[in-house]
Amino acid sequence: MQDYLGRLKKGTLKLYALEQELTPDEAVKVRRTFIEEETGADLAPLGKYAIGIERVVKRNCENMIGTVQVPVGVAGPLAVAGEYASGSYYLPLATTEGALVASVNRGCSAITRAGGASVRILRDGMTRAPVFSCRDVVHAADTVRWVSEHTDDLKRAAEETTRHGRMLGIEPIVAGTSVYLRIAFDTKDAMGMNMVTIASERIAVLVEEATGARPVALSGNVCTDKKPAAINSILGRGKTVVAGIGLSDDQVREIFKTDAATLAEVNTRKNLIGSARAGALGFNAQAANIIAAIYIACGQDPAHVVEGSSCITTVDPVPGGVYVAVTLPALQVGTVGGGTGIDTQAACLAMLGVGGGGTPPGSNSRAFAEIIAAGVLAGELSLLGALGAGHLARAHATLGRG
């Protein structure tokens, strides 16, 4: 090891090159030791892990020095009545926030006792939006016209780059001399960002050849990826999912220790009016909490919590109770690729019965999205109930303090 450490210090060996000379485990150990010596920090806890790293160092993490372990709790059973997910599920939630699992668990209990959450996917399409520079506004308009007239040709070319993806459409958006092509793809069980980026590159080349519009960037931020954006809330990105449950007055009183009218008022004044007054893009109580916890547990890209947090929660008074629903315009998930193949994350997907590719293709990722939406509904119900009953501070004092 000393030889490698010496070479690293001299600069004759780069951190990223260790795997070229050592096994992944040995490379991680040498790299961690080097960083310890450079920083003076004890990094031994990072070296304790159960995952196999042969795949991880090639596909998931460069310059690996170990792992950070996040506690995983379970909430459920949660009854889900979706088109792809139908049954009872236990949700794996990776979190360090005390009270979160308990909160979701209470919501799961309410949903299950009420007969299960109805869930539907309204739209399914991952987007990428390359941006082109045009000479003037006439050139921009001509470029958009050409794209609209040759969409079928572009679709064929894009689909030649992937075995699984299917182009759904192209939405041109113009700002002066900039032309953005918001291209949507059905990516089946993959979250699909790599797939759509490669396909969009093929389209960009053809557009440039035919129109002279110059491609500036494969992502022009109209996609929009990992940033809050109204376009995702309106047009959707990934999977647009709705989940709802009807609760009787008695169920609200028994489970949440409040009443239906209070539940509805809390939602209106907090989630709807409060969010609008703040200029928020999300109108919910804690959707990001549940999405982040499931994403981390199941190998999703946690940065996509940004889009997931645009959830809208509604509470409609109905005879004898309330109907509570969540709308998730931009839920980006996959059951193959990315972090889904890491041992611990694959185990959590298996617990939900959605690991790997589905039959037919796309069914597993859609089932996963439906389960997440039902979990978000559980979290919203529980927090609204706690606020209505005045129990929020008490729960955090009991479960969230060291």
Determine whether 42 is an active site residue.
Answer: no
The tokens for 223 are 């996609």
Evaluated on CA atoms 252, 257, 259, 260, the torsion sign reads negative
Name the active-site residue from 26, 97, 208, 343: 97
Scan for tokens 């006439």, then name that residue: 138
**What span, in angstroms and rounded, lies between the C-alpha atoms of 189 and 194?**
13
> What's CA 146's distance to the chain center, in Å?
34
Determine whether 301 is an active site residue.
Answer: yes
Evaluated on CA atoms 36, 42, 46, 49, the torsion sign reads positive
The residues, ordered by sequence, that sit 6+ positions from 253 with a Cβ below 8 Å of its Cβ are: 259
Determine whether 396 is an active site residue.
Answer: yes
DSSP line for 284-341:
SSSHHHHHHHHHHHTT--GGGHHHHTT-EEEEEEETTEEEEEEEEEEE---SBSGGGG
For 321: left if phi > 0, alpha if psi spans -120 to 50, otherwise beta; the answer is left
Cis peptide preceding 361, ω within 30 of 0: no
Any bridge partners for residue 117, and if so which?
Answer: 80
The tokens for 393 are 């501070």
Tally the C-alpha atoms within 13 A of residue 349's C-alpha that lie toward its C-beta: 31
- Spatial CA neighbour of 132 closest among 211, 226, 235: 211
Give the type of residue at 176.
G
The residues, ordered by sequence, that sit 6+ positions from 243 with a Cβ below 8 Å of its Cβ are: 117, 118, 119, 325, 326, 328, 370, 373, 374, 376, 377
- Spatial CA neighbour of 380 closest among 307, 333, 328, 325: 325
Name the active-site residue from 171, 259, 265, 301: 301
Scan for tokens 């109580």, then name that residue: 285
Residues serving a catalytic function are 97, 301, 396
